[in-house]
Structure 1
């Protein structure tokens, strides 16, 4: 399969074991259905010096499906880089849907400072409707959550520890149903159950 301008920002963004398999997923499932404004923004983001911070397009595809499954009308996003996930959300909710910071939300996406993930979780539990969905990005932190501290690059250690603690706290939170997904840099999806 020929690599073209749709080539992933970087293979290291994904957790799959082969670049070819990750590219296959993108080219057969994600890119053919990606709306043009999203494709344009993704391509522009590849030129940014911190392009690795962008939402992975395969994670975005799942987010789009989740938004539609819960019929999200009101959404919130914590942390915005170049706006791919924000634009995706805006294009996925009904025209009368809202993106804001007050009230009772159907869906939230969090891709912000890892040290505050638990604080965001506690705040979102107050804002999120029962059966609402939250997606957290980077919850496998390039696979370092499964490595020893010694094996982790120095610049990844601090956030790695916060992510490990967050994952443990979230796993023990009986108010939510959770699932880790091996998309992008790992995403955790939770549904508020009460």
Structure 2
């Protein structure tokens, strides 16, 4: 899923070379309406092994609320940028760039929600800007 089909088309030769292009059902559009449609259709419930989210940080928690139903038990959801320039551990009055400060609260909200979600086990990796892996356990 991507808002821009060109991104999918860029990676398509790699998918074909790996022999997995037939497993990809690309969906173009804004993520929340597309996810809502997928959930409404019912056929995608628990059907994904792996989902990676690198999108608008202010909707990460909204994505999680939907994706948890789409990933199978034992499947993994990965969230990118969960350390958000290190701002998630910075004091509230730390000098931060405007956009970093704006999105910081959304990333913190996601991190806190994931930490107490009983349906998942999480592992936050300090790689790049942080990646959190969530394995669905129930």
TM-score (norm 2): 0.72
Structure 1 counterpart SS, 2:78: strand
Per-residue deviation, 1:79:
6.5
**Structure 1, unaligned runs of 5 or more:** 1-76
**Secondary structure of the corresponding residue to residue 149 of structure 1:** coil
Q: 2:68 aligns with which of 117, 125, 130?
A: 125
CA RMSD of superposed structures (Å)? 2.7
Distance change in 2, residues 1:92/1:142 (3 Å): farther
Q: Which runs of 5+ in 2 are unaligned?
A: 28-37, 39-43
Q: Aligned pair 1:96/2:26, yes or no?
A: no
Alignment partner of 1:112 is 2:55: yes
1:182 to 111, 118, 126: 126
Aligned-residue offset at 1:100: 3.8
Shift of 1:172: 0.3
Once the two structures are superposed, residues 154-188 of structure 1 have per-residue CA deviations (whole angstroms, 9 ceiling, x without a partner) of 22111001101110000000100100011121010
Secondary structure of residue in 1 paired with 2:22: coil
Q: 1:3-18, aligned counterparts within 5 Å?
A: none
The answer for the alignment partner of 1:8 in structure 2 is: none
Shift of 1:191: 0.8
What do the CA deviations read for 1:127-146 (whole angstroms, capped 9, x no partner)?
11111111100000011111
Count residues with an aligned counterpart: 117
Q: How does 1:30-69 map to 2 (within 5 A)?
A: none
Give the match's secondary structure for 1:184.
coil
Work out the CA distance in 2 between the residues paired with 1:78 and 1:176: 25
What is the distance in 2 between the residues matched to 1:129 and 1:137?
A: 20
Residues 38-92 of structure 1: CA deviation (Å, up to 9, x unaligned): xxxxxxxxxxxxxxxxxxxxxxxxxxxxxxxxxxxxxxx5677x849x8398366
Query: CA–CA distance in 2 between the matches of 1:124 and 1:116?
Result: 12
State the distance in 2 between where 1:92 and 1:118 align.
Answer: 32
Give TM-score, length-normalised by structure 1.
Answer: 0.53
| Superposition deviation, residue 93 in structure 1 | 6.9
